[in-house]
Amino acid sequence: MPELPESDAARRRIADHCLHRTIAGFDLGEVTHVQLPSEAERERLVGTQFSQTRRHGKYIFAGTSDGPWLHIHLGMSGSLRVYDEGETPPDYARLIVIFEGTRRLAFRDPRKFGRVKLIEDVDAFIAAKGLGPDAMKMGDNAFAQAIGSTKTAVKSALLDQSKMAGVGNLWSDEALYRCGIMPDTRGTDLDGKAVAHLHRAVQDIMGHVMAKNADYSQLPADWLIHHRKDGADCPRCGGTITKKKVGGRTAYHCPDHQTHAG
């Protein structure tokens, strides 16, 4: 599932390739069970331009010259692709933004859990969703309050979007793996040093993924993401990667070096 770094890579595709281009229309793919702007909302966007982008957690926003924002959430399998007229549109394209000239922006979503909606105010939308602060902008005290004061499993706390927005299953596992913390450790069982270490790990890991444009092949070979399989060898200590359910979510970890104490 796309998380903060993957969503930011998608945002940058809009920022780098689609700003200040006039929207001429839209094409729709197979849209059953897909949340997309209505025909009236699409007509409202024709003739406008994307003038800016924002991201909060996993939520992407493209602001138009006419005022409203196009909100994009990639869901479980969504992505954005920029291409030009004459090139083959991507498979599973649910919505294609047609710009004047040759530029196209496709929202593809094989599993149909993503959504594209028109909203009026980004900050009001974030507040209505009950989202916590963006994980990459979260200060030390806010992180300590969100994680260190909870009696729930630390992995569950990292995934709680009301505590912090943007961390998902993949990068929460990576951060806990780096810090040697068992995923089901309660936040209150971590001391201040362990919480601070986890905070640095979350932001360092996601920042590194963002710098690599969410291209996993460019990530270090000893990261968990390359060994995230039940029974795989742990590149850090030679132990065995194991999966377990934590708060209803599957967590991958190495019990040999990830301890409850952090």
Query: Is 262 a domain residue?
Result: no
**How many helices (H) and strands (E) in the chain?**
7, 10
Interatomic CA distance for residues 70 and 45, integer angstroms: 9
Q: Are residues 112 and 166 in the same domain?
A: no
Q: Are residues 102 and 22 in the same domain?
A: yes
Q: Under DSSP, is residue 16 helix (H, G, I), strand (E, B) or coil?
A: helix
Q: Are residues 80 and 196 in the same domain?
A: no
Q: Are residues 46 and 156 in the same domain?
A: no
Q: Are residues 56 and 115 in the same domain?
A: yes
Interatomic CA distance for residues 95 and 80, integer angstroms: 10
Q: Are residues 197 and 176 in the same domain?
A: yes
Q: Are residues 148 and 184 in the same domain?
A: yes
Per-residue pLDDT of the chain (262 residues; tens, 9 = 90+): 899 999 999 999 999 999 999 999 999 998 888 899 999 999 999 999 999 999 999 999 999 988 999 999 999 999 999 999 999 999 999 999 999 999 999 999 999 999 999 999 999 999 999 999 999 999 999 999 999 999 999 999 999 999 999 999 999 999 999 999 999 999 999 999 999 999 999 999 999 999 999 999 999 999 999 999 999 999 999 999 999 999 999 999 999 999 865 4
How many domains does the chain contain in total? 2
Q: Are residues 212 and 162 in the same domain?
A: yes
Q: Are residues 92 and 152 in the same domain?
A: no
Q: Are residues 102 and 145 in the same domain?
A: no
Q: Are residues 58 and 168 in the same domain?
A: no
End-to-end CA distance of the chain: 26
> Each residue of 58-107: pLDDT tens digit?
999 999 988 999 999 999 999 999 999 999 999 999 999 999 999 999 99
Pick the last residue of a domain from 103, 129, 155.
Answer: 129
Tokens 């909100």, located at residue: 71
CATH number, domain with residue 167: 1.10.8.50
Interatomic CA distance for residues 6 and 206, integer angstroms: 9
Q: What are phi and psi of 207, to 5 degrees?
A: -65, -40
Query: Is 103 a domain residue?
Result: yes
Interatomic CA distance for residues 212 and 218, integer angstroms: 7
Pick the last residue of a domain from 100, 129, 158.
Answer: 129
CATH number, domain with residue 29: 3.20.190.10
Which ranges in 113-191 belong to alpha helices (H)?
Answer: 122-129, 140-148, 154-159, 169-179
Domain that holds residue 213: 140-253
Structure tokens at 192: 């201040």
Query: Is 64 a domain residue?
Result: yes
Query: Is 49 a domain residue?
Result: yes
Pick the last residue of a domain from 129, 151, 185.
Answer: 129
**Quick check: 199 and 187 in contact, CB under 8 A?**
no
Q: Are residues 115 and 195 in the same domain?
A: no
